[in-house]
Amino acid sequence: MLECHKSYQPNRQPKLASPNVKGDVEVTPDGRTHLCAELGITAMNPLPRRDFIRTGALAGLGGFALLNRLPVVSAADAALDAKFVQFRPEIEPLVRLLEETSRSRLLEEVAARIKAGTTYRDVLTALLLAGVRNIQPRPVGFKFHAVLVVNSAHLASQNSPDADRWLPIFWALDYFKSSQARDESEGDWTMGSLDEGAIPPAERALEEFRSAMSRWDEARADVAAAGLVRSAGAQQVFDLFCRLGARDFRDIGHKAIYVANSWRTLQTVGWQHAEPVIRSLAYALLEHKGGNPADRDAEADRPGRANDERLHQIRPGWQAGQSSAVAANELLATLRTGTWDEASRLAVEQLNLGIAPGSIWDAVFQSAGEMLMRRPGIGSLHASTTANALHFAFQRTGMDETRR
């Protein structure tokens, strides 16, 4: 397991006091609520997703009545609606509820809030922000999956029947508490407040952010990221992070995954919540071990640096081309047996010969799938999830060089 890099931590702040939560919650003799006892949830051990869903489904036939008592979430409720872009002042108390309520009581407390009128979008937003504020993205994975899976839980909710749409969200809430407990055991990191006087003005925010990220300067990048969010448009910010997510290959692709999933989730909850998420993302993208990567030639940085040079070798009009199964198979063969450098060179050659980018992506996705079949495991699994994240960035970014 990778060790958490803690040479810099954004200013820490004390945990917030517990909100005043009212309501009667019946507990078992061992201190758990009846719902948690039914689900087999303990104070420190996460419940696997499949067990959570299977247990919840079985209990729904008999004793698992909680979800059946909640208002159903319609497809319209779970879908993006532009009217929700305004900041909702009640989100901070809800975030605090998630942070400070014990794992054994959280699901009942959230259910009580939902019954009192708290919306699906509010719960999803609070879940994201609670993870960003309480879980250190070092390494970018492991316990930090509590943040990375928020969009996945939302997608699962969207694709569930109305009566079941709370189940993926409730699983993600429980997973957050498990990850929060792990973070506390590893040092109890908390994202702190910013020094407002250090935030660069609007006219300098972009330049300062680029410089800080280029120099791998965590303290400068933290305040510059805040300045960037306050002065630039959402798409411009996303374009910058798409490039940075593909800059190096540390954390088995989780950096690119966090870029894609943070954008996806912010598209749902609203850009008004972006600043702490972007600060967390910048901090995650600067994760490294050893000396400053700007001052050395680390293996994880070599592909990105070589590809930066190759960008200018690709012909104008490269996005228009012909699909070719032959070209895809040729690249697939190189991905199977060649080096990253050979694969990258061949991709540039194919683009310059008029091959469509889609054929290159076909080879990438097929190679990732084959890798998982031949060598099942965490590393090969993330070949597929990283390819998905990079392809998402390719489709969504507005910058030609980043698409290359």
CA distances, 108 to each of 61, 97, 120, 263 (Å): 19, 12, 15, 30
Averaged pLDDT score across all residues of the chain: 85
pLDDT at site 157:
97
What are the angstrom distances between the C-alpha of 288 and each of 22, 107, 218, 251?
44, 36, 11, 9
Residue of 99, 94, 274 whose CA lies nearest to 189 = 99
* In 101-149, alpha helices (H): 103-115, 120-134, 145-148
pTM above 0.85, yes or no: no
Task: Report pLDDT digits (tens) over 355-399.
Answer: 999 999 999 999 999 999 999 999 899 999 999 999 999 999 999
The pLDDT, as a whole number, for residue 271 is 94
Look up residue 52 and give its two tokens: 């959570």
> Do 186 and 144 touch, CB atoms closer than 8 A?
no
The confidence band for 76, taking pLDDT boundaries of 50, 70 and 90, is low
Give me the percent of the chain exceeding a pLDDT of 90.
74
Q: Is the pLDDT of residue 101 over 60?
A: yes
pLDDT per residue over 104-136, tens digit each? 999 999 999 999 999 999 999 999 999 999 999
> Which residue bears the tokens 């009128």?
117
pLDDT of residue 354: 98
pLDDT at residue 255 greater than cutoff 70? yes
Is residue 196 over pLDDT 50? yes
315 vs 27: which has the higher pLDDT? 315
Residue 72 is predicted with a pLDDT of 77
Nearest to 269 by CA among 81, 90, 108, 93: 81
**CA 60 and chain centroid, separation:** 30
Question: For the segment 281-312, what is each residue's pLDDT rounded down to a tens digit?
Answer: 999 999 999 999 999 999 999 999 999 999 99
In contact, 88 and 232? CB cutoff 8 Å: no
Per-residue pLDDT at 260 exceeds 50: yes
What are the respective helix, strand and coil percentages of the chain, to the nearest 5?
65, 0, 35
* pLDDT > 70: percent of the chain: 79
Report whether pLDDT(225) > 90: yes
pLDDT-derived band at 5 (thresholds 50, 70, 90) equals very low
Residue-level pLDDT at 3: 34
